[in-house]
Amino acid sequence: MKSINALKVTGLVLIAVMLAMFTVQGSYALWNKAVSSNAGTVQAADFRISLTDTNTSKVTDMTLPNGTSATLSLSSTAMGVIIPGQSSYAGVEVKNITNAGGDFTVRASTATPTIGNTAGSSLAPYLSVKTATASSLSLCSQVTLYDGVKDSETPIVDIIKNGSGVFCFQVSLAATMPASLSGQSAQVTIPILVNQL
């Protein structure tokens, strides 16, 4: 008797397992059903900043195609011969020309200028640099723009999408420069940093 009941229970369990297997198999087929869709095109935004110098109006992307930082030489502008006790002026316009959607404001700032001697020169200690912001490159040569600006100040300007900001530079040569240094040269480096806000 016990074997007939055991056989009935075993048969019932076998039917339940088979029913479960058929149910899972049907669900498995639904999970693997493929539905086609038309995917749209995704385009990454271009974080693009351009630099324009004072006199030549040459536009340079801040980052070159190979990924390195651009160097903008202002030596071909009004920067040139500086007379002891006087100053020379230059500037750079920074434009936020990104194609990113929505608001895309960036903050541009300058790092502390470094002044170095070129080969065989001892001129650097007699040079000073002031950096200021302006609304246009044409204002960079105005002496009053630099009133109250310290040599070590690093200005900041926030630039909206498709907007621009201007950094102006005043390079002064001390009146105490020895005449023996006449004709020597030095190199002034002012890094410009841009970050998204």
For the stretch 78-96, pLDDT in tens is 555 778 888 888 889 999 9
Residue 188: pLDDT band (50, 70, 90) is: confident
Mean pLDDT of the chain: 78
DSSP state of 181: G
- Rounded to two decimals, the pTM is 0.71
Q: Containing H/E element for 156?
A: strand 156-159
Q: Does residue 188 contact residue 132 with C-beta atoms inside 8 Å?
A: no
**φ, ψ for residue 12 (rounded to 5)?**
-65, -45
Q: Does residue 56 contact residue 76 with C-beta atoms inside 8 Å?
A: yes
Token pair recorded at residue 22: 């058929």
- Work out the average pLDDT over 20-39: 53
